[in-house]
Structure 1
Amino acid sequence: MSTDARPGRASAARLRPRTIALYAIGSLGTGGYATLPGLVLTYFLTDNLGVSALAAGLIVTAAKIWDVVIDPLIGAASDRQLARTGSRRGFMIAGAATLPLFFALTFAVPPTWGPAAGALCVLLAFLATATAFSLFQVPYVALPAELTDSYDERTRLLGWRVVVLTAAILLFGAGGPELRGAGGDQVIGYLVMGVAAGLAIGLGMYVASKTADAAATRIAPAAAAEHPAGIREQYASGFRALRRSQPFRALLATFLLQALATGTMLAGAQYVATWVLRSEDAVTLVFLALVGPALLATPGWTAIARRSGKERAFRVASVVFAIAAASITAAVWMPGAWIYASVAVAGIAYAGLQSLPMAMLPDVIAHDERAHTPGQAGTFTGVWTAGETVGFALGATFVSLTLAATGYVSTVAGAATQQPDAAITGIVLSFSILPALLMMASLATLARYRLRRSDIDA
């Protein structure tokens, strides 16, 4: 076990590079799962299986609602597992072992089954995928609060995690569509993409699970009785965490709105590539423009946070992202390659939007534990992950509703079609002004976040 952990409490000493590396590799899994379904799943349903845009949005939303239902339960169960065994690793291993199969099945449905049967099969496979991912993600997000007590070490830990996360977004966001089209047959291409991506995601999750032992707080087994066992009480535990922690409410509301904003852009990227930039393969360039700058910008946001505080750096990143997204509105009248420049500026801000709130969450948990029972990080992260899921789910739903309202024409693989001008306008607005407005709204909730460095390192 790493010397980073001490009995009963995590160490405030500097984290070992090995611990940081193992934890960061987990973002290969989280980045892949968050990126690829959000990028291609709605498009897979509408333009490969012939499912209507509205129905496609409902499928994605239903799977995410399932996440919201189970995440608080997994969080409470992870806390009990930590109390019994001293580690959260068991759930993480279960998720890593089962996700590759379910992820591949999600993209294995052929168009010949028809829109109705295809939609049902995708829904069931994606529900199973979401369950497997939550088994890993909820305890994974809880670990930073248990790895170190240091305000700046958490920023360092999560900064490196976001470096890997942005690399994963590049790998899956750019490589996934390329892999899909490599074989020439779109149906086989989706299947190959699903198998390869599922295996890569599962591998990253498995490697990161080793960090759970270093994060163990060695709570006595008898303390397991203090954690709620009934389903009703597990949900109540999450609501109590929300009610008693004002910083948690403010940070969660901010992150939810921002997940909605970025989820909207993510779900609309493929449509922008196909119908605004007039190339289905242009989605690769969109992701290069987004993720390339983000890889370089993450250390910069870490440095700004050390100098001025996480909450101030977070505010700056939010404003920059909103301005960059709003500028893309001009593509309604002047579509062109200039869009990549606006996306690149958003990518610089996106690095901060990922690393800073995730580094603030362990501070919130540690602040709460000083006045209440330790070992409840899973309860917080279960609620947090559910909120994040709601944001990304509704992002895809907003895009689907916009497409449906503006007359978007769905089709099956290989069939040619044209979109009405109103649908093209709807695609641009869902990729620009809508996420910009959501990002600006998040500044109001961020203003209510009152924890500062002195509150954490006191």
Structure 2
Amino acid sequence: MPATDSLPRRVRIGYGSGSVATGAFGTVPGLMLLPYLTDSLGIAALAAGFIVFLPKAWDVVLNPIAGRISDRTVDPRGPRRPWLLRAGLLLAAGFAVLFAAPGMATWLEAVWVLVLFLGCATAYAFFQVPYVAMPAEITDSYDERTRLMTWRVAILAFTILLAGASAPAIQNAVGGRAGYRVMGVAIAVIILVGVVSAYVGTRSAPVAAPQPGAGSLRDQLRIVAEARDFRWLLTTFVIQALATGCMLAGVDYVAENVLDSDAATTFLFVCFVGPALLLTPVWSAVGTRIGKKRGYVASSLFLAAGALAAVTAQSAPVGVVYLAVVLVGVGYAGCQVFPMAMLPDAAAVDARRTGSNRAGVYTGVWTAGETLGLALGPGVFALVLALGGYRSSTDGDVAQPDSALTAITLGFSLLPAVLVLLSLVWLRRYSLGVADVDGRTDETVTA
């Protein structure tokens, strides 16, 4: 079926439901895996950071390859949808046992987590890349892509709230390593729901037949290297993913060590995602009014301001910390809506310029960059912990030195704020607007 300018609501919701899977897998390992390694398995912070980082770094290589494979897939269901089901089922199965390391020597348990996380990351690449490629192929409209991304980000925000709040709550309720095992199975079920919903919900979506992409990884990187605006957008998004990864990795440490409350992890997540649920449509309307780029800048400033305010976590009342995280959530909603709506624009401009649909190449490189940023976040935070002298344990019940508490606070607040502000240097150079994407002459390009 040909791509269309307008999509029925059932397709928007069906596509957006894939964010249940991506949101759960993108949130819970970044939130729970590093504390699981340092405070349950007793692995040193620096080694734990390496275990969390390595499988995601593998995706940096794998994601462009997954884009190439999905570009060339021939199937009656379309080139993307079969991968949603195949890879999604494997992802759910792998996640169910990721946090279920049996009682073994510490190094063997570390290998268990590394191998399972590597398997999950591989399955995720073959789900995420085709999923992100779909918008550029099911609609030709600049504004419809924004509406499609609004559904996706709204569902993503809800999933982050559900998974991010329930994962630590389940672990704390059950307690110990058994709590991690139960939590892993519960999140795997959530991932499975998102996979099946996306596969079924997009069965009637119109799809423009993709043409063969670049022939090698080097060719793919050359293609995106020639797309100047895509490079600026990707660089901005990767740096912000790094900032988000740092904050996500620090939530449990801030709650238990700085705020001295296990329940604070759930509260911090509610403060973070609650505004995103309410304000995602607002940011979409802002983008329609002032342009996607200006909306992206504004939301980035909100995120940075909230992160800076959180630097007072060691001394300010807990309510101030929660309000700071609310402000982060306000900005985070826009920082998801705008780049995800701008990505298919860049792919569409390339297709019009070259006559070849290479959305899979663009989204493969994009997802690799996002994965790298989110992987580096916990790794960088683990490095900050190590520099601060953080003490690992097998029961989480160990007094931390003041230097470790300071490291936790700065890694959660000041470092992400600086990264977000730094990312705007590259966003300034992005120049695509409505006229570039739709070819309309009655509207000006957003500066």
TM-score range, shorter chain: over 0.9
Task: Give yes or no for the alignment of 1:11 onto 2:1.
Answer: no
- Whether the 8 Å CA contact 1:96–1:132 is kept in 2: the answer is yes
- Whether the 8 Å CA contact 2:42–2:393 is kept in 1: the answer is yes
Task: Give yes or no for the alignment of 1:260 onto 2:242.
Answer: yes
Q: Quick one: percent identity of the two aligned structures?
A: 45
The match for 1:44 is 36
- Whether the 8 Å CA contact 2:66–2:126 is kept in 1: the answer is yes
Deviation of 1:424 (Å): 0.3
The match for 2:193 is 203
Task: Give yes or no for the alignment of 1:350 onto 2:336.
Answer: no
Question: Where do 1:79-118 residues align within 5 Å?
Answer: 79-82=71-74, 86-110=78-102, 112-118=103-109
What is the alpha-carbon distance in structure 2 between the residues aligned to residue 96 and residue 75 of structure 1? 16
The match for 1:141 is 132
Deviation string, structure 1 residues 166-208 (Cα, Å, up to 9, x no partner): 100010000111112222x422211111111112112202221
The match for 1:305 is 287
What is the alpha-carbon distance in structure 2 between the residues aligned to residue 94 and residue 365 of structure 1? 25
Deviation string, structure 1 residues 94-153 (Cα, Å, up to 9, x no partner): 11111122112210014x313211111000000001111111100000011111111111
- Whether the 8 Å CA contact 1:97–1:202 is kept in 2: the answer is yes
Query: Residue type of the partner of 1:449?
Result: Y
- Whether the 8 Å CA contact 1:87–1:215 is kept in 2: the answer is no
* CA distance 1:215–1:119, change in 2 (3 Å): farther
What is the alpha-carbon distance in structure 2 between the residues aligned to residue 371 and residue 338 of structure 1? 50
Give the counterpart of 2:208 among 205, 217, 229: 217
The match for 1:410 is 392
Of 64-73 and 239-248, the range deviating more from structure 2 = 239-248
Give the counterpart of 1:170 among 161, 164, 168: 161
Deviation of 1:310 (Å): 0.5
- Whether the 8 Å CA contact 1:86–1:213 is kept in 2: the answer is no
Deviation of 1:371 (Å): 1.1
Query: Residue type of the partner of 2:186?
Result: A
Give the counterpart of 1:250 among 206, 220, 232: 232
Give the counterpart of 1:439 among 398, 401, 420: 420
Give the counterpart of 1:190 among 180, 195, 199: 180
What is the alpha-carbon distance in structure 2 between the residues aligned to residue 261 and residue 241 of structure 1? 27
* CA distance 1:299–1:180, change in 2 (3 Å): same
Give the counterpart of 1:457 among 409, 420, 438: 438
Structure 1-normalised TM-score?
0.93
* CA distance 1:213–1:382, change in 2 (3 Å): farther
What is the alpha-carbon distance in structure 2 between the residues aligned to residue 333 and residue 188 of structure 1? 34
- Whether the 8 Å CA contact 2:276–2:330 is kept in 1: the answer is yes
What is the alpha-carbon distance in structure 2 between the residues aligned to residue 218 and residue 161 of structure 1? 22
The match for 2:251 is 269
The match for 2:311 is 329
What is the alpha-carbon distance in structure 2 between the residues aligned to residue 104 and residue 42 of structure 1? 17
- Whether the 8 Å CA contact 1:82–1:88 is kept in 2: the answer is no
What is the alpha-carbon distance in structure 2 between the residues aligned to residue 212 and residue 377 of structure 1? 19
The match for 1:30 is 22
Give the counterpart of 2:70 among 70, 75, 78: 78
* CA distance 1:256–1:161, change in 2 (3 Å): same
Give the counterpart of 1:63 among 27, 32, 55: 55
Deviation of 1:212 (Å): 6.3
Give the counterpart of 2:222 among 230, 233, 240: 240
Question: Where do 1:112-131 residues align within 5 Å?
Answer: 112-131=103-122
- Whether the 8 Å CA contact 1:237–1:379 is kept in 2: the answer is no
- Whether the 8 Å CA contact 2:213–2:357 is kept in 1: the answer is no
Query: Residue type of the partner of 1:352?
Result: G
Deviation of 1:389 (Å): 0.6
- Whether the 8 Å CA contact 1:11–1:147 is kept in 2: the answer is yes
Question: Where do 1:316-395 residues align within 5 Å?
Answer: 316-334=298-316, 336-395=318-377
Deviation of 1:402 (Å): 0.4
What is the alpha-carbon distance in structure 2 between the residues aligned to residue 455 and residue 255 of structure 1? 21
- Whether the 8 Å CA contact 2:213–2:361 is kept in 1: the answer is no
Query: Residue type of the partner of 1:29?
Result: A
What secondary structure does 1:81 align onto? coil
The match for 1:280 is 262
- Whether the 8 Å CA contact 2:259–2:313 is kept in 1: the answer is no
What secondary structure does 1:58 align onto? helix
What is the alpha-carbon distance in structure 2 between the residues aligned to residue 83 and residue 216 of structure 1? 12
The match for 1:423 is 404
Deviation string, structure 1 residues 380-418 (Cα, Å, up to 9, x no partner): 1110000001100110011100000110000103x5210
Deviation string, structure 1 residues 58-105 (Cα, Å, up to 9, x no partner): 001101111111111100000001589743122211111111221122
- Whether the 8 Å CA contact 2:259–2:314 is kept in 1: the answer is no
What is the alpha-carbon distance in structure 2 between the residues aligned to residue 179 and residue 82 of structure 1? 42
Query: Residue type of the partner of 1:161?
Result: R
Of 370-379 and 83-92, the range deviating more from structure 2 = 83-92
Query: Residue type of the partner of 1:11?
Result: T
What is the alpha-carbon distance in structure 1 between the residues aligned to residue 173 and residue 318 of structure 2? 26
What is the alpha-carbon distance in structure 1 between the residues aligned to residue 138 and residue 213 of structure 2? 21
What is the alpha-carbon distance in structure 1 between the residues aligned to residue 397 and residue 288 of structure 2? 53
Deviation of 1:15 (Å): 1.2
What is the alpha-carbon distance in structure 2 between the residues aligned to residue 275 and residue 37 of structure 1? 19
Cα RMSD over matched residues? 1.5
Query: Residue type of the partner of 1:19?
Result: V
Deviation of 1:329 (Å): 1.1
Structure 1 unaligned regions, length at least 5: none
- Whether the 8 Å CA contact 2:384–2:408 is kept in 1: the answer is yes
